[in-house]
């Protein structure tokens, strides 16, 4: 298969994936640093490169509401947002997942106010982690492009039927220029396939009620069904990842292991920080330290078994959270990992860190410090802030 090599930002990569997917409907409202995704895509619409109906609305709440209506009417639907925009969608995110509408959302991770901040952390998507959406975190532009394409297949699978959010780190990836390999339009279209919705509220021959009132008699059963769909997505995602690898030559998984096979000390993180961690690990390896990285790519569904199998042989573990849960014990990622290890009867020394809030840089030396703290057995207890100005 002939691939095209481009220099593209993360936003450009996501917009290009959307062009090739050619959804039926996109509804969006601009917000930094995700505005550029829909701005570029609107150019594709104006130039006739896609057949998408682009709906510009008055708020992000309206954007997700319009997406809900579109998807319920049987249309393949996508949108993009960030930070406060995702927060404004909060009410509708629950409804979309409960109605089993496989909308795909490109989110550019940005801090939630206050104080006002437009730079990267994961507080926006972590605040929505229990809304019933599949959540996938991309390390770079290539992953953003590839994962957005795969998100369509994952969400629309009959055993899943859940909305999917694919996110990149604001400005770090969204506006950073990187090498991007794209695939032929026809191959992408063949991979995503034709959308065949389970239901369509415009089908007058088969009328249904959507969004009805459900009280104590069946509300619990609805939530159990969503739970089972999220469990099913573990299998479906593996299948889609495998097929994507066979088709396009780039294989994905729930997690990425880097130098973990013989690692004594393992760091866990999401997204772009993995690149910095890999550089730090190479330096530490040259100094004789057996350091490794576990990058979590899918946070919902949470791949507990894969994570525990990787971490169970480490001497000590460090977890980096780019969001603050204000529990005083650990961030969202570390909390999930602690629960997974506990269920697997694995007890390992672990140090948890909050870092990078509001776009605060994390450097190779910061990562090396984390590993050296593990080696010196400085782990356990309450969460620490990495890089904070004391």
Q: Average pLDDT for residues 351-372, to the nearest whole number? A: 97
Query: How confident is residue 375, by pLDDT bands cut at 50, 70 and 90?
Result: confident
Where exactly are the structural domains of the chain? 4-248, 255-385
Span 107-131, average pLDDT: 97
Q: Is the CATH number 3.40.50.970 carried by domain 4-248?
A: yes
Give the Å distances, CA to CA, from 309 to 180, 184, 186, 262: 32, 37, 38, 13
Region 156-177 average pLDDT: 98
Across the range 161-173, mean pLDDT stands at 98
Are 324 and 356 contacting, i.e. CB atoms less than 8 angstroms apart?
Answer: no
What is the tens place of the pLDDT at every residue in 306-321?
A: 999 999 999 999 999 9
Q: What is the mean pLDDT of residues 1-12?
A: 94
pLDDT of 381: 72
Whether the CB-CB separation of 376 and 344 falls below 8 Å is answered with: no
Contact yes or no for 331/268 (Cβ under 8 A): no
Where does the pLDDT of residue 140 fall: very low under 50, low under 70, confident under 90, or very high at 90 and above? very high
pLDDT band at 1 (very low <50, low <70, confident <90, very high): confident
Percent over 90 (pLDDT), the chain: 96
Cβ atoms of 320 and 386 within 8 Å: the answer is yes
* pLDDT, tens digit (0-9, with 9 covering 90-100), for 301-354: 999 999 999 999 999 999 999 999 999 999 999 999 999 999 999 999 999 999
pLDDT at 390 over 80: no
Mean pLDDT of the chain: 97
pLDDT tier at 234, thresholds 50, 70, 90: very high
What's the CATH class of domain 255-385?
A: alpha beta
379 or 77, which is more confident? 77
Does 294 have pLDDT greater than 70? yes
Same fold, 4-248 and 255-385: yes
Residue 237: predicted pLDDT = 98
pLDDT grade for 378, boundaries at 50, 70 and 90: low
Tell me the pLDDT band of 382, cut-offs 50, 70 and 90.
confident
Q: Give pLDDT, residue 305.
A: 98
| Tens of pLDDT, residues 30-69 | 999 999 999 999 999 999 999 999 999 999 999 999 999 9
pLDDT at 271 exceeding the cut of 90 = yes
pLDDT tens for each residue of 85-104? 999 999 999 999 999 999 99
């Amino acid at each position: 298969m002939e691939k095209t090599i481009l220099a593209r930002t993360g936003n450009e990569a996501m917009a290009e994936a959307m062009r090739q997917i050619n959804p039926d409907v996109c509804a969006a409202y601009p917000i930094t640093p995700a505005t550029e995704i829909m701005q570029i895509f609107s150019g594709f619409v104006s130039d006739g490169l896609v057949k998408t109906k682009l709906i510009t609305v008055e708020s992000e709440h309206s954007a997700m509401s319009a997406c809900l209506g579109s998807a319920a009417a049987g249309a393949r639907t996508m949108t993009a947002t960030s930070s406060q925009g995702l927060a404004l969608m909060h009410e509708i995110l629950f409804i979309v997942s409960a109605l089993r509408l496989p909308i795909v959302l490109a989110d550019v991770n940005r801090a939630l106010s206050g104080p006002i901040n437009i730079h990267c952390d994961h507080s926006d998507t972590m605040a929505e982690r229990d809304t019933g959406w599949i959540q996938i975190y991309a390390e770079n532009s290539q992953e953003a492009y590839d994962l957005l394409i795969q998100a369509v297949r994952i969400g629309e699978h009959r055993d899943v039927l859940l909305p999917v959010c694919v996110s990149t780190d604001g400005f770090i990836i969204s506006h950073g220029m990187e090498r991007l390999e794209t695939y032929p339009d026809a191959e992408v279209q063949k991979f995503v396939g034709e959308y065949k919705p389970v239901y369509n509220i415009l089908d007058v021959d088969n009328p249904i009620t959507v969004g009805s009132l459900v009280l104590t008699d069946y509300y619990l059963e609805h939530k159990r069904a969503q739970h089972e769909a999220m469990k099913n997505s573990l299998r479906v995602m593996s299948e889609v990842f495998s097929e994507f690898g066979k088709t396009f030559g780039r294989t994905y998984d729930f997690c990425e292991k880097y130098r973990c096979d013989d690692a004594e000390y393992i760091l866990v993180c999401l997204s772009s920080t993995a690149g910095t961690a890999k550089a730090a690990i190479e330096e530490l390896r040259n100094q004789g330290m057996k350091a490794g990285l576990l990058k979590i790519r899918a946070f919902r569904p949470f791949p507990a078994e894969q994570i525990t199998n990787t971490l169970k042989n480490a001497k000590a573990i460090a977890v980096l959270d780019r969001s603050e849960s204000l529990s005083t014990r650990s961030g969202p990622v570390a909390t999930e990992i602690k629960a997974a290890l506990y269920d697997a009867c694995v007890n390992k020394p672990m140090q948890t860190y909050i870092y990078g809030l509001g776009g605060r840089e994390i450097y190779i030396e910061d990562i090396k410090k984390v590993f050296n703290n593990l080696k010196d057995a400085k782990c356990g207890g309450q969460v620490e802030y990495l890089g904070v100005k004391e």
